[in-house]
A and B are shown apart, each in its own frame.
Chain A
Amino acid sequence: MATRAEITSGLAEILEEVAGVNPDDVAEEKSFTDDLDVDSLSMVEVVVAAEEKFGVKIPDNEVQNLKTVGDAVTYIEANH
Chain B
Amino acid sequence: MTGSRIVAMGHYQPSRVVTNDDLAMTLDTNDAWIRDRVGIAERRIADHAESVADMATIAAEKALAASGIAATDIDLVVVATCSAIDRCPNVAAEVSHRLGILAPGAFDINTACSGFSYALGNADNAIRAGASRNALVIGAEKLSDVIDWSDRTTAILFGDAAGAAVLTATADDEEHGVGPVIWGSAPEKGEALTIAGWRPYIKQNGQSVFRWATTALAPFALEACRRAGVDPSELAAFVPHQANTRIIDAIVKKLGVGPDTIVVKDLVESGNTSAASVPLALSKLIERREVPSGAPVLLFGFGGGLTYAGQVIRCP
Contacts and interface: CB of A to CB of B under 8 A. Distances in A.
B210 A44 contact: yes
A45 B206 contact: no
A63 interface: yes
Interface in B214-248: 214-215, 244, 246
B207 A39 contact: no
Nearest to B189: A60
A40 interface: yes
Given A39-B36, A39-B37, A44 B214 contact: yes
A45 B244 CA distance: 14
Contacts of B206: 40-41
Interface string B196-224: 00000000011110110011000000000
A48 B211 CA distance: 8
Interface in A5-55: 39-41, 43-45, 47-48
Nearest to A64: B207
A75 B226 CA distance: 39
A45 B207 contact: no
Which bucket holds chain B's interface residue count? 10 to 19
Contacts of A64: 207
A61 to B, nearest CB: 9
Contacts of A63: 207
Interface in B171-206: 205-206
A41 B207 contact: yes
A44 B207 contact: yes
B137 to A, nearest CB: 32
Task: Tell me whether chain B's interface is mostly helix, strand or loop, or mixed.
Answer: helix
B215 A40 contact: no
A29 to B, nearest CB: 24
Contacts of A47: 211
Interface in B27-61: 36-37
A21 to B, nearest CB: 15
Contacts of B211: 44, 47-48, 60
B207 A43 contact: yes
Given A39-B36, A39-B37, A60 B214 contact: no
B208 A60 contact: yes
A27 B289 CA distance: 52
A20 to B, nearest CB: 13
Contacts of B246: 41
A41 B249 CA distance: 13
Contact of A48 (B36, B208, B215): B215
Contacts of B210: 41, 44
Of B37, B205, B207, the most chain A CB neighbours within 10 A belong to B207
B176 to A, nearest CB: 37
B37 A41 contact: yes
Interface in B98-117: none
B207 A40 contact: yes
A19 to B, nearest CB: 11
Contacts of B37: 39-41
A63 B210 CA distance: 13
A48 B207 contact: no
14 contacts: A39-B36, A40-B37, A40-B206, A41-B210, A41-B244, A41-B246, A44-B207, A44-B210, A44-B214, A45-B214, A47-B211, A48-B215, A60-B205, A60-B211
Closest 5 pairs (CB-CB, A-B): A60-B208, A44-B211, A44-B210, A44-B207, A41-B210
